[in-house]
Amino acid sequence: MSALAFWRQVRFMQTSDWGIQTKNTIQVGVMGGPNKKVILEEIKQLATVEEICPTELFTVSNEAGPFSQNNVNWEGRQPDYRPFFQTVDVGLNFASFFGLEIIQGRDFTEADWKTDVAKTLINEEAARVMQLTDPIGQKIEIDLDYYTPEGPGRGTMEIIGVFRDFHGIGLKQPIMPMILKSVSSWRETIYYVRSTPGTETETLQSIRSILEEYIEESQVSKIPLITMTDLLNKLSQPEQDLLKLFLTVSLLCILIAVFGIYSVSQRETQRRRKEIAIRKTAGAKTREIMVMFIREYLIITLAACAGAFPLAGLFMHRWLQGFAYRISISWWMFAVVSLVVAVIVLLTIFSQVNRASNQNPAEVVKSE
């Protein structure tokens, strides 16, 4: 039961819709330095590269990242209400690159990068947290990326659009309120590269070759360079490892149980040889004797399941509470496990019961 729930949760994490386009997308870190512009230009010139999206340090992970803050202010906020927001510095094409759906307002334009009042996009969760039914045109004030003697620098931004929520911090935590703002070119660090379909691996190797050409070999391995598919799979790696361990332990338990059931059934049929012979002498058929044994073992099996299922269900329920987005434990899971256990038990005892049911009553009585 627990192994089935583990597998379903891991499968759910691997196949969930993250709300962003991740196919044919590569994450690459290009730090500042004299060769940064050359590296980016060569990446853009690759025949398999369709588009590049710059960000500061945006990545999908199991943590909110270094740029979450609870010092966001907006009109109507209660003084003691300070929810955390995830602030992300992104390029002009971030929303279109990742396929974000703008449900209110509009996307960034080049003109937004040049206005006196900075523009921002927020997600649905941010609009809900701020209780803004019509957020377009509203002003918010947030901490910026520099400090003054009085503390963090502050900036006012105008909301120009609301985009549909996507998972930016994995599936263990609820979607956070998110604020997207423009990234300065000198702060661009993490880039996302869209390759033509079917060339993801080739593009990754080409980018690696470019980095090795301009960066010391010892530093290349420290640079983020990974496909988005692999990045998302890594987020569930601890659960995948736990699943492998749990499956191994489960198989060992099944093997031990099978050997135990086989031994018990062998001893039981030997002990009841005379009873079987008398029943056959009295007219009982082989099928009736087999049904008698099978019924007895099925009753024991179902009783064991009835005792084990509540404990397994409680254990899995508590484990699943660690995920904001998770599967539900359904009745059919218990039914499937009961059926599998019953089949394993029947296959284990069948040969013993069949042999005992087909023995010659006269020989048994004589030997007894």
What is the distance between the alpha carbons of residues 175 and 169, in angstroms, rounded to a whole number? 7
Assign 364 a pLDDT band (cuts: 50, 70, 90).
low
pLDDT tens digits along 38-66 = 999 999 999 999 999 999 988 888 877 66
Assign 216 a pLDDT band (cuts: 50, 70, 90).
confident
What is the distance between the alpha carbons of residues 362 and 368, in angstroms, rounded to a whole number? 10
pTM of the entire predicted model: 0.80
pLDDT at 331: 86
Residue, of 91 and 184, whose pLDDT is higher: 91
Assign 353 a pLDDT band (cuts: 50, 70, 90).
confident
pLDDT at 366: 55
Q: What are phi and psi of 347, to 5 degrees?
A: -65, -35
pLDDT at 221: 65
Tokens matching residue 274:
């005379």
Across the range 109-134, mean pLDDT stands at 90
Strands 190-195 and 25-29, bridge-based pairing = antiparallel
Residue, of 139 and 305, whose pLDDT is higher: 139
Dihedral sign (CA 191, 196, 197, 199): negative
Using the predicted structure, report yes or no on whether residue 263 has a pLDDT greater than 90.
Answer: no
DSSP code per residue over 4-41: HHHHHHHHHHHH---SS--TTEEEEE--SSTTHHHHHH
Cβ neighbours, 10 Å, residue 70: 10
Average pLDDT, the chain: 86
What is the distance between the alpha carbons of residues 36 and 31, in angstroms, rounded to a whole number? 7
Instruction: Give kind and range of the element (H or E) at residue 263.
Output: helix 237-271
pLDDT at 309: 87
Cβ neighbours, 10 Å, residue 149: 4
pLDDT tens digits along 304-328 = 888 888 888 888 889 899 888 888 8
Give the C-alpha distances (Å, rounded to integers) separating 85 from 134, 181, 286: 19, 13, 72
Cβ neighbours, 10 Å, residue 19: 18
For the CA atoms of 317, 318, 320, 323, what is the dihedral angle to 10 degrees? 140
Assign 26 a pLDDT band (cuts: 50, 70, 90).
very high
